[in-house]
Amino acid sequence: MKRTLKTSLLSLIILISILSVSGTTLQTDPSMDAFWMKFKPAVLKGDKEAIAMMVQYPISMPYGIPAIRTKGQLFKRYRDLFSRQADATKCFPEAKPEADASSKHKFSVACKDAAGNEVVIYGFVRTRGVWKLKSLDNINE
């Protein structure tokens, strides 16, 4: 009787643990979604002023391309960030943010390059409770 009770309790604890872990992985951060719903239309409209408020400088760039360090550089190099590696205006309407498994303060959005490979990654970070674009990376470079 005691053995059956112990086995039942152990099974129940394991089941609760599995359900709680799977439940947390399905949840997304509402602030991440809210940020994405502001950032995406700003890029689609080409609203450089709005985008400038939603980035953390310096914005790291793919290998061999200098970082974007100021608002002025962002305005001059806007195409480098949103058109040269991948066309964000084509990618962002269907793109979905993906939370970083290693940190609740990071997420990314993947886009396809000209060859159709999903290798261009926009990286976002949350600092002081605010999400910002932090990087652009091409995982092939």
Q: How many CA atoms lie within 13 A of 88 on its CB side?
A: 21
Those residues whose C-beta lies under 8 Å from the C-beta of residue 96, and which sit 6 or more positions away, are 109
122/117 Cα distance (integer angstroms):
14
Residue 3 inside a domain? The answer is: no
Which of 26-40, 66-80, 95-109 is predicted with the least confidence, judged by mean pLDDT?
A: 26-40
Which residues span the domain enclosing 102?
Answer: 28-138
Residue 130 inside a domain? The answer is: yes
Task: State the pLDDT confidence band at 140, using cuts at 50, 70 and 90.
Answer: confident
User: Where residue 43 sits, what CATH number does that domain have?
Assistant: 3.10.450.50
90 Cα distance to chain centroid: 17
> What is the chain's mean pLDDT, rounded?
85
Q: How many domains, the chain?
A: 1
Could you report the per-residue pLDDT of 80-134, keeping only the tens digit for each? Answer: 999 988 999 999 999 999 999 999 999 999 999 888 888 999 999 999 999 999 9
